[in-house]
Amino acid sequence: MIQVEGLTKRYGDVTAIENLNFHVARGEIVGFLGPNGAGKTTTMRVLTGYLPPTEGSAHIAGYDIFSESLQARRRIGYMPETVPLYPEMTVRGYLHFMAEIRGVRDRRTAVAEAMALCHVEDRAGDIIATLSKGYRQRVGLAQALLHKPDVLILDEPTLGLDPRQIIEVRELIRELGQERTVLLSSHILPEVSQVCTRVLIIHKGHIVAEDTPEGLTARLQGATRLVVQVARPSPKVEAALSTVPGVEGVEPAGDGRYEIASAPDADVRTAVAETVVQGGWGLLELRPVGMSLEEIFLQLTREESPIEEIAEQEVEADA
């Protein structure tokens, strides 16, 4: 449904996104995850035909977003991050207008259905300016559903909602994702891991990881890590620990802590504990470090080297 190949967008000298490649199949809900300014909104604007790509191409339902823009746009429901609404219109009036410019034939039914789906029918006659943030957000979502598009592109769909509304919107997206293709952006991790079937992590205009939420977690936990803290650190500790069978690396982490990397299958915990006790260094703590999606995200999007490391791991994993 969505095919993106070598997509690059530059604003003058600033490169917003560079060489993005991804495909989204029908019925997938793909989360576009990244810190603010990573290029999520730019990507969505290019996909919806609002901005042209500098290089590369993108197809929506088989139509090129640049050369067959109108055809592609007919198949997209888009909710921009700012949720643009005409504040002086009523909810119903606004949806009617949007249905009209989207070329919907039976507007009355389409508006009624979209309002019911997004639970805004109780405020149908109200002026948009008087609505709360949550209602506006849902009106914005209703607007994207009017023409029953194949592809839904939602930029930060739960931004500014209260927890109950967030749950409702997520459920709605999950429902919609059964028949449609959904690409949503977010910088909130639990949201993505709960709603999406696949996650693309974007950082500084590059896709740094792409997998299912579970797969991503599993892949980054591949090499098991332990943290040991001792009461009386000494250079000997490091040397002794490196000799433990199965240990692949030891790094002092300060404050008497050592980070131990071990082979994926080896459980070195007992051996490490015994070594510390025998050395008389005083074992204070020994724990495995699993990475939550948060940590993975932070690691992937940190400023320094980890990006390259993980990118290398990615290449290896793909090969």
The site for other proteins (CB under 8 A) is made up of: 9-11, 45, 48-54, 70, 73-74, 76, 78, 80, 82-89, 93, 97-98, 100-103, 143
Nearer to other proteins, 86 or 236 (CB): 86
Nearer to other proteins, 87 or 288 (CB): 87
Nearer to other proteins, 46 or 276 (CB): 46
Distance between CA 289 and CA 224 in Å, rounded?
7
- The least distance separating other proteins from the CB of residue 10, rounded to whole angstroms, comes to 7
Tokens describing residue 45: 């604007």
Judged by DSSP in three states, 213 sits in helix
Distance between CA 247 and CA 272 in Å, rounded?
9
- The least distance separating other proteins from the CB of residue 141, rounded to whole angstroms, comes to 13
Nearer to other proteins, 58 or 76 (CB): 76
- The least distance separating other proteins from the CB of residue 26, rounded to whole angstroms, comes to 21
Residues 6+ apart with CB under 8 A from 49: 65, 66, 69, 72, 73, 76
- The least distance separating other proteins from the CB of residue 13, rounded to whole angstroms, comes to 13
Q: What is the largest CA-CA distance in the chain?
A: 81
Distance between CA 186 and CA 253 in Å, rounded?
32
The residues with which 50 forms a beta bridge, in sequence order, are none
CA 161 to chain centre: 18
The alpha-carbon radius of gyration of the chain (Å, integer) is 25
- The least distance separating other proteins from the CB of residue 145, rounded to whole angstroms, comes to 13
Nearer to other proteins, 32 or 78 (CB): 78
